Amino acid sequence: MVNIVVVSHSLQLAQGVEQLAQQMIQGDCRLAIAAGVDDPEHPIGTDAIRVMAAIESVYNPAGVLVLMDLGSALLSAETALDLLDPAMAAQVMLCAAPLVEGTLAAVVAASAGGDLAQVKAEALGALAAKFSQLGEETGPAAQVATVQSMPADCLSLSWTLLNPNGLHVRPAARLVGALAPFDARLALEKGGRRVDPRSLNQLATLQIRQGDSIRLLADGPQAAQALAAFGALSRQGFGEDLPDNISGNPLANTLTGISVPPGQVKALVRLVRPVRHQAARTTVQPEDLPGQRRRLDQAITATVHDLDQLARQAEATMGREPGAIFSAHALLMQDEEIIQGMRQRMTRDRLGAEAAAEQELLAVAGEYRAMDDAYLRARELDIHDILNRLLGHLAAAPVVPLDIDGGVLVLAQELLPSEMVGLDRRRVKGICLSQGDILSHSAILARALGIPMVVGVAGCMEVAKTGQQGLLDMVSGVLRLTPA
């Protein structure tokens, strides 16, 4: 990681810059200062030896960027380079950026993993926001270009900024750091203008204030993960504690989510609450355990049969890959380790078949939920789908397909992958989930069916009513409701 050295004539000035910069630093980025001279009566000045020691203290093969305040600071820095080992000096760059703005931009870019050239470029462009905000026609503002156009089918997530002071430098730095790791093309949009959200300088030129609507567009291998990180950071106030009364913001009635395919849906709302089976924790007598094992085995067989049928139906209507989802579910339901885990819980804890099955499969779901990979974490929903079907057979109330007609906009808390099979684009104009995950198999099946879906629209089930008109904007991820 690139590290930073600040050279100043004034120790107090350098310490102030360091204090500001420390609020922006994330990860392992380090900053050192070389400021003032050892003369109590005349402390203003710079010392080449001090500069050399500062560079050596933070040296990293990735490079060191040195920023300076006045002319003789540059001379001291150049002398320090001459004193350094040539191999080390080759990885040090002096930068003409303004000391305060340049240092802040540099530490953010370095924290985000930028190389030495990228960190220097960010520092040099640090005055762009001021030029833009003051309407100056010359200067580095001209160097901040908008990003290239994004594909029409790219993923996007919209957010209305709630931070009272807008997306100022600290929350903007958090956003840069959050998006840095992902292999994706990204653009942040406000009012039709798009910038690179991994550049602190470009973010500043958007002048994002409280109440502004912004949209992150993402395309590439890790586009979905980038959107998920953006959504999580947005809901956390970009690292700031939001006022307790923020829910009173008039914009709170605009619900946002992550759009799956693009488009717009206008239809009557229908709230859907599918049956979710749960098991009561009941203990059984030892003599009853053989009967409970038989019930469990029969329910597993019936569940596997269901899943095999779903696989054939999904393949016939959507293709081989959607069918493979349920084939994998069937294999998981036949996994000997999982079956043995259920049986052991029955014997060890004297649990009935329902409680043993629920505890074992919830433990498996928890393992998925704890995984680092976002795609694998989304497989937790598959386990809940299998469990719901298994508990249905144990309760002699097998899961039945959703029966939805009328060309409606379906609102639900969550839809399981198996509940997507059999849905018809002519009857279901769109789906809006208060929970959900764009990496879930439910979202993948929605795309295969051609049914627009938005996930993560928190509060939609409490606000909406069946029969009222709904408009679901797939580009912005916004749900608008009109009175019933």
The total domain count for the chain is 4
The pair of three-digit structure tokens given for residue 10, joined into one six-digit string: 């004034």
Q: Are 439 and 378 in contact (CB under 8 A)?
A: yes
Q: Is residue 433 located within the same domain as residue 476?
A: yes
Domain boundary among 359, 394, 429: 394
Task: State the pLDDT confidence band at 400, using cuts at 50, 70 and 90.
Answer: very high
pLDDT (mean) for 124-136? 72
Task: State the pLDDT confidence band at 244, using cuts at 50, 70 and 90.
Answer: low
Task: State the pLDDT confidence band at 200, using cuts at 50, 70 and 90.
Answer: confident
**Per-residue confidence (pLDDT) for residue 35, from 0 to 100:** 93
Query: Which residues are annotated as catalytic?
Result: 9, 168, 441
Q: Is residue 80 located within the same domain as residue 119?
A: yes
Answer whether residue 347 shows pLDDT above 70.
yes
Residue type, 162: L
- 19: number of Cβ within 10 Å: 9
∠ CA 160-164-169, rounded to 5°: 90
Task: State the pLDDT confidence band at 142, using cuts at 50, 70 and 90.
Answer: very low
pLDDT (mean) for 424-441? 92
Number of helices (H) and strands (E) in the chain: give both, helices first. 19, 16
Task: State the pLDDT confidence band at 252, using cuts at 50, 70 and 90.
Answer: very low
Examine residue 133 and state whether it is found in any structural domain, yes or no: no
The pair of three-digit structure tokens given for residue 110, joined into one six-digit string: 């370095």
Examine residue 249 and state whether it is found in any structural domain, yes or no: no
Examine residue 253 and state whether it is found in any structural domain, yes or no: no
Q: What is the CATH number of the domain that holds 148?
A: 3.30.1340.10
73-98, pLDDT tens digit by residue?
898 999 999 999 999 999 999 998 89
**DSSP output for 81-109:** HHHS-HHHHTTEEEE-S-HHHHHHHHHHH
Q: Is residue 334 located within the same domain as residue 415?
A: no
- Most confident region among 7-16, 151-160, 273-282 by mean pLDDT: 7-16
How far apart CA 249 and CA 264 sit, in angstroms, is 26
How far apart CA 20 and CA 168 sit, in angstroms, is 13
Q: Is residue 343 located within the same domain as residue 230?
A: no
User: Alpha carbon 482 to chain centroid distance?
Assistant: 30
The pair of three-digit structure tokens given for residue 17, joined into one six-digit string: 């810059």
| Structure-model confidence comparison of residues 249 and 198, the more confident one | 198
The pair of three-digit structure tokens given for residue 84, joined into one six-digit string: 């350094």
**DSSP output for 225-293:** HHHHHHHHHHHTGGGS---GGGGGSGGGGSEE-EESS--EEEEEEEE-----------B--GGGHHHHH
Examine residue 444 and state whether it is found in any structural domain, yes or no: yes
Examine residue 251 and state whether it is found in any structural domain, yes or no: no
How far apart CA 6 and CA 4 sit, in angstroms, is 7
The percentage of the chain sitting over the pLDDT mark of 70, rounded to a whole number, equals 91
Q: Which domain holds residue 11?
A: 3-126
| Structure-model confidence comparison of residues 137 and 107, the more confident one | 107
- Most confident region among 129-138, 219-228, 296-305 by mean pLDDT: 296-305
Q: Is residue 116 located within the same domain as residue 12?
A: yes
Q: Is residue 149 located within the same domain as residue 173?
A: yes
User: Of 256-270, 283-297, 458-472, which range is least confident?
Assistant: 256-270
Q: Is residue 343 located within the same domain as residue 369?
A: yes
